[in-house]
Amino acid sequence: MTSREPKQDRSRATRQRLLEATIDCLAERGWTATTVAVVAERAGVSRGAAQHHFPTREDLITAALDYMFDHRMALAMDEATALPEGEGRTEAVVDRLLDYFTGTLFKAALQVWTAAAADPALRERVVPLEAKFGRVAHRTAIELLGVDDADPVVHRLVQATLDMGRGLGLADVLTDDSARRKQIVRQWAATLDGALGERVR
Amino acid sequence: MTSREPKQDRSRATRQRLLEATIDCLAERGWTATTVAVVAERAGVSRGAAQHHFPTREDLITAALDYMFDHRMALAMDEATALPEGEGRTEAVVDRLLDYFTGTLFKAALQVWTAAAADPALRERVVPLEAKFGRVAHRTAIELLGVDDADPVVHRLVQATLDMGRGLGLADVLTDDSARRKQIVRQWAATLDGALGERVR
């Protein structure tokens, strides 16, 4: 064991604190307020140390979204073992998938996507992230639902489910939309289950 | 006829130019860049005249969203007479409805909703607008589809359609998502048609 290891651990912990503080700060205070200095203070890290890890705001923010998304998806796969098999599985999976769109990570991402809409340089960094998120979320949904993505109807209905999730996420940004959402999720799960049930699983 | 009328007409035209320039400016340059001064210049109106109509940025922006939304919905009802009856109507209506979520008005509203997420004073002004938009869009969809909103399954599936529209709108902000969207709209219309077909019309 060398003396470098504890230092690497500390560095990794600092990095992680910065990434988590970035997501919280974006969701709560918005894009404009989320600077490296503000995030460093929130994470209890010196500004110099923060800038050592992430030279620019764009570096910090894209790294934070990427890290938190991977973390969320890994969690989704872990949690999936606890979801019921057979009847009720589609509703449980849809409910869980759509839950992610009302969390802090979605609210943080929304700030970044919206800023990127009016900022070509940021857009260039965010577009590959968006493509990755879409691909991985789709693959995760397919695995959790246990359906065949090669069937074009299945493929499109799962896409539609994730698009609906994004829309429900947007509807939850300014007010608590959970009561309405619950009814829609239940209905959509029943309709989806019926449509998927007609396909080969 | 008094001399006041032309003045009123001019005033109305100025107001309308400001409202249209606000939506374009929000969609193109984002929330932070959309000030009364920038919009006035874009509309070819003096800053003083703009401030006479809209004392604050919040007044201007909420008035613009409200005006353009009403205008869009009136247009939707007019255009509906040209949509096919019977087979193919659901797809035509869904296609038309979801189109609105990829237009300039949606992109402008997204900027305002996202800013309001981190600004409690703005949020207070935007929440009633969001409620109105949701209500009117739902009523318009019900009328265009010619379905019975008293049926809870119909009610929820129409809500789900609009939520999906919002999600598709968000997916179109950074890249042109029209090819993917087209396939989803077609599939969604078929699934919706099947589910609605089982209900009493």
The fold of the B57-197 domain, in CATH, is Tetracycline Repressor; domain 2 (1.10.357)
**Eight-state DSSP code of residue A9:** H
Q: How far apart are CA A156 and CA A149, in angstroms?
A: 9
Model confidence band, residue A84 (pLDDT cutoffs 50, 70, 90)? confident
A127/B175 touch (CB, cutoff 8 Å), yes or no: yes
**Chain-centroid distance, C-alpha B160:** 17
- Report the Cα A187 to chain-centroid distance in Å: 24
Domain ranges of chain B: 57-197
Beta-carbon contacts of B53 under 8 Å, excluding residues fewer than 6 positions away, are B11, B14, B15, B18, B60
Span B51-67, average pLDDT: 96
The predicted model gives A162-168 an average pLDDT of: 96
Nearest to B115 by CA among B176, B172, B64, B58: B58
What pLDDT is attached to residue B3? 56
Instruction: Lowest mean pLDDT of A49-63, A81-95, B41-55, B161-175, name the range.
Output: A81-95
Q: What percent of chain B has pLDDT over 90?
A: 78
Interface touch A130/B175, C-beta < 8 Å: yes
* Tokens, residue B93: 């209506």
Q: Specify whether the CB–CB gap between A23 and A65 falls below 8 A.
A: yes
pLDDT at B59 over 90: yes
The whole-number pLDDT of residue A50 equals 96
Q: What is the pLDDT of residue B181?
A: 95
Q: Which of A104, A163, A177 to mutate to test the interface with B (most CBs of B within 10 A)?
A: A163
One-letter amino acid at A130 equals E
Among the listed ranges A12-16, A96-100, A102-106, A159-163, which one has the minimum average pLDDT value?
A96-100
Confidence of residue B10 (pLDDT cuts 50, 70, 90): confident
| A111 alpha carbon, distance to own chain's centre | 13
Cβ–Cβ < 8 Å for B30, A119:
yes
Q: Which residue type is seen at A117? A: A
- Average pLDDT score over residue span B139-161: 94
Q: Is a pLDDT exceeding 70 seen at residue B39?
A: yes
The pLDDT mean for chain B works out to 92
Q: Predicted confidence band at A186 (pLDDT cuts at 50, 70, 90)?
A: very high
Quote the Cα angle for B10-B12-B15, to 5°: 110
Which has the minimum average pLDDT: A36-40, A176-180, B89-93, B133-137? B89-93
Q: Tell me the average pLDDT across A173-197.
A: 92
Instruction: Name the DSSP class of B84.
Output: P
Q: For residue B13, which of B56, B46, B45 has the smallest C-alpha distance?
A: B45
Cα B156 from Cα B147, distance rounded (Å): 12
What is the DSSP annotation of B126-140?
Answer: HHHHHHHHHHHHHHH
> How far is it, in rounded angstroms, from Cα B169 to Cα B133?
15
Q: Model confidence at A2, in pLDDT bands (50, 70, 90)? A: low
Contact status of A37 with chain B (Cβ, < 8 Å) = no
Tokens representing residue A179 in the block: 């009561």
Q: What is the pLDDT of residue B2?
A: 53
3-state helix, strand, coil in chain A (%, to 5): 80, 0, 20
- What's the average model confidence in pLDDT over A117-130? 96
Whether A168 sits inside 8 A of B167 (CB atoms) is: yes
